[in-house]
């Protein structure tokens, strides 16, 4: 004889579906980086930490934007040197993805 057991009533199913919807559809912060192209960011401040180490601050596009770079990775930034020549340097961000609006 086959027995069928009711695991959940309709109200429980609605609660589970609603919880899944909110869990998977919650807004994630907007990631700023583009792996294929350079993007412009407003330079805010440079803090010299030692003779060869500096901390650069850049404004992200919106107050809720995050950089979107995993911990331990670096980015390339492009600019011009004092002679007007284009240079590309590496920069290791010190912020987390929970830090929004500025790096």
CA distance 21 to 13: 12
Single pTM value for the model? 0.56
Q: What is the pLDDT at residue 65?
A: 83
Whether residue 21 is annotated as binding a ligand: the answer is no
Q: Residue 37 above 90 pLDDT?
A: no
- Cβ pair 42, 75 in contact under 8 A: no
Q: Residue 61 above 80 pLDDT?
A: yes
Q: Mind listing the domains of the chain with CATH numbers?
A: 29-103 (2.40.30.10)
Nearest Cα neighbor of 65 from 91, 17, 24, 101 is: 101
């Amino acid at each position: 004889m086959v027995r069928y057991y009711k695991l959940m009533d309709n109200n429980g199913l609605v609660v589970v579906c609603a919880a899944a919807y909110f869990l998977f559809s919650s807004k994630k912060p907007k990631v700023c980086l583009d792996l294929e192209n350079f993007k412009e960011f407003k330079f805010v401040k440079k803090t010299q930490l030692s003779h060869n180490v500096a901390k650069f601050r850049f404004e992200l596009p919106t107050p809720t934007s995050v950089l979107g770079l995993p911990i331990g990775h670096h980015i390339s930034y492009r600019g011009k040197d004092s002679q007007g020549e284009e240079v590309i340097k590496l920069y290791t961000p010190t912020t987390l993805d929970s830090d929004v609006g500025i790096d």
